[in-house]
Amino acid sequence: DAEITQSPRHKITETGRQVTLACHQTWNHNNMFWYRQDLGHGLRLIHYSYGVQDTNKGEVSDGYSVSRSNTEDLPLTLESAASSQTSVYFCASSAEEIVTGELFFGEGSRLTVL
Amino acid sequence: GQNIDQPTEMTATEGAIVQINCTYQTSGFNGLFWYQQHAGEAPTFLSYNVLDGLEEKGRFSSFLSRSKGYSYLLLKELQMKDSASYLCAVMDSNYQLIWGAGTKLIIKP
């Protein structure tokens, strides 16, 4: 079965360190997204991509970067982790031809920045 | 600014019916979505409304009124496994999803 996986599922790091969260999907979807989820807030879009070599900033992109070198992967990098980036991060994908907004989410990566 | 409002928490009894409301103010409208999220898990798609009216899918129904900026998710014959957060999201004119903070539904026996 096609799926979307994230790693690591849990990570603790220190302020100032670089962190990369991996996202891999086997749906062959062109559209991929990174969200963060914090208590009291809706999902907030960090970065998104509509295909290989395409990346776009979302609502809360400061301090984050992504790259899209193939269809399957969209890694999220925190260049210099800050305590404000402690959160649960979700990767998601959707099929290009569907403008219905149905997203398929990974299981999430819980990041703690000390 | 863009805003999605839904109650923070609701409690209902097993076997009963519950209605979760969502009101929105967005730049344009290209559909409204409901997702279910169990604690510690990923959100999963429940429903999509783009035209006014009721969409029924088994025990779950979703209603939309575009003129009122209002939607609700109706859950019938509640089961303990329905205990979860329910997320309302609207697709704006740029085809971006704007998410509400979610409604935590607690089901009591």
Q: Per residue in A10-39, pLDDT tens? A: 999 999 999 999 999 998 999 999 999 998
pLDDT at residue A50 is higher than 80:
yes
Residues of B with CB under 8 A from a CB of A: 4, 30-31, 33, 40-45, 48, 87, 89, 91, 95-102
Please state, in angstroms and as integers, the Cα–Cα distance from residue B18 to each residue in A28, B2, B75, B83, B86, following that order: 37, 27, 5, 12, 12
Does B89 contact A43 at a Cβ distance shorter than 8 Å? yes
Cβ count within 10 A of residue A28: 11
Residues B68-86: what's their mean pLDDT? 97
Average model confidence (pLDDT) across chain A: 93
Residues B26-49: what's their mean pLDDT? 95
Chains A–B, number of C-beta pairs less than 8 Å apart: 50
Q: What is the DSSP string of B27-85?
A: SS-S-EEEEEE-TTS--EEEEEE-SSEEEEETTEEEEEETTTTEEEEEE-S--GGG-EE
Residues B31-54: what's their mean pLDDT? 95
What integer pLDDT is reported at residue B66 of this predicted model?
A: 97
Q: What tens digit of pLDDT does each residue of B78-98 get?
A: 999 999 999 999 999 888 899
The chain B residue lying nearest A107, using CA atoms, is B42
How confident is residue A40, by pLDDT bands cut at 50, 70 and 90?
A: confident
| Cβ–Cβ under 8 Å, residues A84 and A114 | no
